Amino acid sequence: MNAKKITDALLVVDVQNDFCPGGALAVPDGDRVVPVINRLADLFEVVLHTQDWHPAGHHSFASSHEGKDPYDVITVDYGKQVLWPDHCVQKTEGAAFHPGLDTSRSQLILRKGFRKHIDSYSAFFENDQQTVTGLTGYLRSRNIDTLYVTGLAADFCVKWTVLDAIKEGFHVNVVEDAVRGIDLDGSLEQAWQEMNGAGARVLTSDTLLHRI
């Protein structure tokens, strides 16, 4: 492998303790994406991370709604909202990146979900689909038009990030072995259908490792 780097951006979504085994909202085998992402990070000139960053008592937590349980669904101003176990609360260990994840090459850490009354799956828009995170402007200012998306969870934050990136005009690749899903009532299969249907390209890390 030579020293040439891939000039597109690697986007690492929410690889945090609460989404990994033992966490408050653990994605099955979520920690298995860590070594894959670390290998990929060495290939890219631009590496970006997102971090779920909720205040205590966030509106998306089941504990904020009397009589509701985790994974119940309610209707809010912006549509349907899954109620989650308390997770990724600001300044807690659960909100920290997985200890094995190498963030030393990250050029941007984008925190989302910090507005108490709006959940935020996507790295581009909060769930009202109107409140922007600023990521589109950042990428365009750096002349980046292609993303390789990795992280957790494939059927929620990864999916919405991919769909919004495509809507924003970016070329999007999903690294299949660098994502894992929660899979609530078939949500993982549906996510792959939606991402493929929107035009995302799905590939494996080996494809990238052999590209350089």
**Rounded Cα gap, residues 36 and 11, in angstroms:** 13
What's the per-residue H, E or C state across 166-194? HHCCCEEEEEEEEEECCCCCCHHHHHHHH
Are 119 and 78 in contact by the 8 Å Cβ rule? The answer is no
Sign of CA dihedral 103, 122, 84, 151: negative
Residues in the chain: 212
- Annotated catalytic residues are 14, 112, 157
Are 53 and 91 in contact by the 8 Å Cβ rule? The answer is no
